């Protein structure tokens, strides 16, 4: 399947969760077996090329793709969670959303010192989530060597921000103009 065909499987919902937002919904993509498999295969090629030893994915949609890529490549998977969910002393980073703030947490004991780690998520918009993930990885003294997304919303600037922070970025498809 081509990236253009995969793009057709993403449902666009106007004015969700707020007026003016074009919500790019991946539930219709993963509800298509061949489309989901092709998406995971493409993300896996990127992650494999980065020579990452481990994959992290951000709660919740990042778990869907990150865990699938990890299983396909027989790589270990580490969840980056929303606050208060990890049962151990976790590293935490607060980050800005369009309105207000949120927080991501990570188990620093989940890694080998200095190893190469890939970030996988469904979508990059402002980059706040992915930058927080990269910051958490650096706090855990490992190297974010790749950030692989299904969808990039380039007008929101997240991919550019991540590259400025020295994290290589790739996406299967983009929706310019969002
Ligand atoms: O680049 P950003 O502006 O940070 O936006 C992208 C993030 O937003 C969505 O997650 P959300 O926080 O909505 O959580 P969910 O996965 O639980 O739906 C998406 O899955 C990304 O993680
Ligand atoms: N436009 C959008 N569609 C889906 N998920 C998002 N996360 C942040 N912006 C989004």
pLDDT of residue 101: 87
Contact 151, 24 (CB under 8 A): yes
Q: Complex ipTM, two decimals?
A: 0.98
- 61 in ligand 2 pocket by Cβ < 6 Å? no
Atom of ligand 2 nearest to the CA of 156: 9
Q: Whose CA is nearest to atom 15 of ligand 1?
A: 60
Q: What residues line ligand 1, using a CB cutoff of 6 Å?
A: 58-62, 121-130, 158
Closest ligand to C-alpha of residue 123 is: 1
Atom of ligand 2 nearest to the CA of 21: 1
Gap from CA of 114 to ligand 2 centroid (Å): 32
Chain segment 75-104, per-residue pLDDT in tens: 999 999 999 999 999 999 999 876 678 999
**Alpha-carbon span 169 to 152, nearest angstrom:** 10
Give the chain's domains with CATH numbers.
3-174 (3.40.50.2020)
The percent of residues in the chain predicted with pLDDT above 70, rounded, is 99
Catalytic residue numbers, as ranges = 61, 98
Contact 30, 11 (CB under 8 A): no
Nearest to 123 by CA among 11, 41, 31: 11
pLDDT of residue 99: 63
Chain segment 122-160, per-residue pLDDT in tens: 999 999 999 999 999 999 999 999 999 999 999 999 999
Gap from CA of 87 to ligand 1 centroid (Å): 23
pLDDT of residue 96: 85
Closest ligand to C-alpha of residue 177 is: 2
Gap from CA of 135 to ligand 2 centroid (Å): 21
């Amino acid at each position: 399947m081509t990236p253009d065909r995969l793009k057709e499987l993403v449902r666009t919902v106007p004015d969700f969760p707020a007026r003016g937002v074009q919500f790019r919904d991946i539930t219709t993509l993963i509800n298509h077996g061949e489309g989901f498999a092709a998406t995971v295969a493409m993300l896996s090629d990127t992650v494999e090329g980065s020579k990452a030893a481990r994959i992290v994915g951000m709660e919740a949609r990042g778990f869907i793709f990150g865990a699938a890529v990890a299983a396909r490549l027989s790589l270990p998977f580490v969840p980056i969670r929303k606050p208060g969910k990890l049962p151990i002393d976790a590293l935490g980073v607060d980050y800005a959303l369009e309105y207000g703030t949120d927080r991501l947490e990570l188990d620093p004991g989940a890694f080998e010192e200095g190893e190469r780690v890939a970030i996988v998520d469904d979508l990059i918009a402002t980059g706040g989530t992915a930058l927080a993930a990269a910051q958490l990885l650096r706090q855990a003294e490992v190297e974010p060597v790749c950030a692989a997304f299904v969808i990039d919303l380039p007008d929101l600037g997240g991919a550019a921000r991540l590259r400025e922070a020295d994290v290589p970025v790739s996406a299967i498809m983009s929706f310019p103009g969002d």
